[in-house]
Structure 1
Amino acid sequence: MLVCPECQFENPQANRFCQQCGASLTQKNCHECGASVDWSAEYCEACGAFTAEGWWAIIADAESSKTPAPPAASETPPGEEEQSSVPPETSQWKLDSQERYKISAEHPEGEANSEESSRFPFVQTAVWDSQPLQKPFLEVLLEQQDELFEEIEESGNFSQLSMSSDFWAKIGVPAIALPYLILQESYSPSVPSVRDAWQYEGKGIVLLEDRCHWDLLCDRWSDTDVSLLQLLCWLDETVKLWEGFATIGYCHSLLEPSNLLVDEDQTLCVQQLYPDPPNFQPTLQTLSRMWQRLFDRSGRTLYDPLPKFLMKASRGEFETIEAVRSHLQAIASEQNIDLTEPDSLDIPMPSTTEEESPVLESPDVTGDPEKMIYQSSADDMPTVVLPMQLSSLQNAGYTDIGRQREHNEDHFGIETQIRTQENPLGKTIQVRGLYVVCDGMGGHAAGEVASALAVETLEQYFQTYWTDAEELPDEETILNGILAANQKIYDINQQNERSGSGRMGTTLVVALIQNTNIAIAHVGDSRIYRITRKRGLEQLTVDHEVGQREIQRGVDPEDAYARPDAYQLTQALGPRGDDFVKPDITFLDINEDTLLLLCSDGLSDNDLLENNFQTYLTPLISSKANIDNGLLELIDFANQHNGHDNITGLLVRMKVRPNTDTTRM
């Protein structure tokens, strides 16, 4: 089957165009020159640009229960490092029976790894996918095993299932992929996600995101523009990762300086995972030696307090992870950071929530996959608390008539003010934004009038009453603005003597942003979602409809939505007077990179966002992604599935960073 790159529809192998959306399944446009390029091509014939999907491959002996560890440094005389057991000439290797994945000439094997990495008996190389529209082998494999997993889950033994290499080998998943699969959910983006994994001719192969061109941590560490506060972030992140990696015996991933990278959001990441030597004990003193190497290699001179911290760590004065992180928090406090502010937050790092994040039970420092067991664990460790500031904000809005309506009753409004301040210490921005989406009702020349009037009224209202340049309007001010919009529409209904379903009205969602502070309000069933890397997709509003009203009264959700009027609105702007309009108003603080989505129900119906956010929304958190194009792709996709209604989406991308203004060296 060929998976359409536009709408994800699965097409027969012989199709040249997607039978659902019409997209080409044979050619795409070159990202450099725009020329047509075969999906199966590595380079553009017109300009020579690399156009294939590139990945980082780790190749090891498939029979090993774990990729063998390197010897300790003291066991290998200088100049006599143990070489890889896999032949270095890989350009002619056949990686799979279909010859789908091919060795890439983009960069040589192991280019991003240090000389120490040669002690690891596996090959690392860049590859490209010559059949990118085919499902990954791993996805097909797991789909074939659905019945097995269902039986295990129904038996109630899934949480006790040993994640042994034998178990996964039987269904075709190589042992080398297991640590990534185990860690990637709780430690993303620090641990690269798995694109594909398979076994072939005695080799286990896993494909990861190619991070070879990312910034090295040691290079960023030596940058004198990087603040002490940012260094504290990285130190704290290494401690958190150390704890997680120790549970499966992969602490050496943090002891290879060339394996430590920094992504665009300054988050500490690893390029790949390295196993620990036999009998290796993951002590904090070992980790402290890596920290010292970072300082030594960077040539950076820091007086107090980090050298003192490193000295204490190297002497073994910190016995627990909690002690290290508490000391880092104390350093932050000494730098005049107010830790009591409500908008202070945790250093961005992988979250572990009780319901969602699988980690490993009974830490096993040897990393024996035979003892790897999934279970849930709450993270109750102390966290370094730091204030954040907005580093950038971008927005995009688009509305589409859909495939079945004759006119568009949706309307949206965007007003953004960005003030930039720059001095020798860096650049800061001050942002104020008003974002509104309305879904009108009442028919042609009624619903669209109501939605447009609501947006216009709110824009005019907040121009007048949002007077504080530093603070969001309070709840009463926001409520009065919404009631003003309701009154405008209600007065027209009264003047025109409209009644019943003939009365025009509109739903409303509105977000007001002041730097990292947000106020949201809504009436009706239009929605606001928050998308972050840690928490995924979160619906911030609860629909004002009969079904939700019944659930709040204690009715079982299935029974509540069995009612014929379950989706009937209980609130809207315009049909009734102010006494019947009770908007929900909530205040939020942004403490990590965040994507806000305001949308009409044409976009959110049928759980479209819940089922597809990882494909269409999560990638847009990255500043490298084009937010306008991303929104258009999402609405095009919604048209394939929810084209029965008008579709409107409004995206706001907020990027944050630690507020280092008071701590620059």
Structure 2
Amino acid sequence: MTNHTAAKIVCQNPECQAPNPASHNFCAHCRTAIPKVYLWAVGEDALTLKTGQTLANNRYLAVNNRVLLDTKPGWQPEVIDRVPEFITPYLRLVAHRPHVPQVYGSVALNRSGRRTSTLWLLEKAPIYSEGLGAALAGKVMPELSESWKTVGSMRQLNWLWQIANLWDAMAVEGVSRTLLHPEVLRVEGGLMRAIELMPNGDSPPKLAELGKLWKLWQKQARIGIAQALEKICDRLIKEDVTTATQLIALLDEALRTVGQKQFLNCNYITLTHTGPTREQNEDACYPPSSNGLYQKTGFELSLAIVCDGVGGHQGGEVASNLAIDTIQRRIENVLDKPENRYPDSIAIQIENSTCVANDQISLRNDSENRQERERMGTTMVMSLIYGHEAYIAHIGDSRLYRITRTGCHQMTLDDDLATREVRLSGVLYRQALGMSSSGSLFQALGMNSSTALHPNIRRTIVDEECIFLLCSDGVSDRDRVEQYWQSEILPVLEGKVDLATACQRTINMANTQNGHDNATVALVHCQVKQPVEAGQNTAIQDFPANATTTFTQTDTLLLSSPETNSKDRQRTMTTQAEVPDSPRRQPLLLGAIGAIVLMAIGAGGWFLSQGQPNPTPAASPSPALAPSPAVTPIEPGVQ
């Protein structure tokens, strides 16, 4: 690997364009952020690239095997007119990032005595940037199969769960065989990320093939899940489980049980600002930004919402606040009942609450006789964390990012016309941005009946320390989050600043680097403490080494079928403590009870050590893309 840290990256500020060393994060001349864009090359000649080689008039530098560094990230990448068939699945699967890389551009390769070939460059591939230092920058992240034996039960199940959730979408696009190639499946902490897509060819794979691959990994599964995973693999191979929905249900069972042994602490805070150029603030957030820091544990609901209102005199402010009041009240009231806290039920309640909020705003528009651009509406993005799961929902172009020590990933997909063109027409996003009204929204709350509304809801597993950043477009415009997350948000994970300081700094960044709109931020800091498992090398884990909970052989899960009801699930969870007592086992039972008590005290002490919460207010997955033809696009910047 070449020493590319000495390479020069041209400042993206068109009025500066000064060359800077790749080791710099900001331009030495104008202080503009310098993005490090590492790209993965695909195409028939991708393997012929040599480290140190430059392409496209010295724009791209080969820094590793098939890894290129863009030295002019502010310039539009070149793209040939015709997108080949093997590239279109990347475009249609854009909603599944960060699991699937996206198309950045293309490069023509001229070979002497041969025809010209084309390399396609993929961005947001599993390649380290600068998050862990210059030594890793430009290196491809490790294979899942290599990392499998070094992680705990929760992460092993999480990776498999992500694969299962990708199966149907990839099958539709003819690339589900990707999930059967271990060399393609890379991991970044808890994230499973494919480095490229593999076509199915003439023989689409069955889930039974997935069972055979997982069977190889199962031999090195953790004690707590080994038996359950063996049953899952056997059922896949025997074709007792034939759909991804059934497989996800089985993995959800295992995750739910293992997740009960995971400690999760959520600190969250919000802040909103009118901005330097606006007269009124049409953004809104929950919890209210004046209420300071909140703290919840994993089995309490942690809800954060950001809305960005649009339309008419004071209409945006009314719409955003009405949306938050409606969604917050309905979700917390319904999910206050434990029997409603299952994945399907939670997702349904989020969708229903969003649709009710939409109709409330729409009725208000009708009652005030608001027409076309005078109709008020709002975007919405929310996170709901419960146990080991995070539910993400959004409408419009307010965004949610997931930030860890190794990267920052946008987890939502804007409901704008440019994105729709990418998914439906197979054009590159940068090309779609050149179309008229590309930034206009095709859906927002309150603009039409809920029958034409399609909330985007996805579920993700939280098995590592991370921060969810929710924000309005006054913060995210011009890729400011991607440019500044390391300087403004990452220090929280490094223990250098507190959450309130990071929140204020992010608002300041938005006002100085964008400044054209209201700016609103919600930061949700998830602190995860995993149990230490038998035989586990804790030195390679990303949870505190002083965790005391341990798994034993009797913690093994016994799963029957996806249709098992909650009472049956409780009966099949057998441990030593459930065996009828005998004189020899009574001391063991007492010891187990004592260990549980000590564990609870230790967990409580750990949470208290993270800081006391402020009082909480008393009232306190696949994106669908089928907008109604009657939807009127919402022009960007119209308030």
Bucket of the pairwise TM-score, normalised by the shorter protein: 0.3 to 0.5
Higher helix share: 2
Please, what TM-score do these two structures have when normalized by structure 2? Answer: 0.46
> Higher strand proportion, which one?
1
**RCO comparison, higher one (Cα < 8 Å, 6+):** 2
Structure having the higher Rg: 1
